[in-house]
Copies of this chain bind each other. A is one copy, B any other.
Amino acid sequence: MSKLRFTISMSLDGYVAGPDQSEENPLGVGGEGLHEWAFVTAAFNEMHGRSGGEVNESSAVIESRIENIGATLMGRNMFGGGPGPWGDDPWTGWWGDEPPFRMPVFVLTHHAREPLEMRGGTTFHFVTDGIEAALTQAREAAGGQDVALGGGADVARQYLSARLVDEVEISLVPLLLGSGASLFDGVGDLRLEQVRAVEAPGVTHLKYRVAR
């Protein structure tokens, strides 16, 4: 059965973005610090078409996250370009001409838009009829493989609350953001079983299975 696998970096106090998120500062104040452990790795650089970087305990974790993934789901905020209609010269994502996904990506939005085919195998599909429809479409596109759920916090909380997520992987960073986008706020009593924990420089990668 194709699983929905959710992966995110979280601060020790439970935030996946800092306060005052904006178009200029999509991760909020201090939110960049959630991803520093990844930025220094060779695995991350390679995925983004760059060379160099460290090989450490995070490397295998990063690689495992794209194994058997056939499609990706994300919210409009993670795709970016601000809220509201797309306009005449629409935003094409944060990732340049050749995004690192290399698979179909389904973007949840209130504003319809034609699919956007990028270089390197990524096509963005814009879904306006809700999280269940987006998951169905992503599962079809994944052709039996799993579906990855990215952020932001808002979309992740919707999928978690609807009990549609099968696996949760949290990269827990020793950072206190104090406020911002709280991952689990209002999600309810999701039953999680610990699958594994991996200690890596500046982060611990925690994987949980959602019990049914």
Contacts and interface: CB of A to CB of B under 8 A. Distances in A.
Interface of A: 12-14, 30, 170, 172, 174-176, 178, 183-190, 192-194, 196-199, 201-204, 206, 208
B192 A12 contact: yes
Contact of A204 (B187, B188, B194, B203): B194
A108 B102 CA distance: 58
Given A13-B14, A176-B192, A197-B197, 10 more contacts: A12-B192, A13-B185, A174-B192, A176-B184, A178-B186, A178-B189, A197-B198, A197-B199, A197-B204, A198-B199
Given A196-B199, A202-B194, A208 B14 contact: no
How many copies of this chain? Answer: 2
Contacts of A203: 194
A30 B208 CA distance: 19
Report the 6 A-B pairs with minimum CB-CB distance, sorted nearest first.
A197-B199, A174-B192, A13-B184, A197-B204, A14-B14, A174-B194
A13 B15 CA distance: 9
Contacts of A206: 172, 204
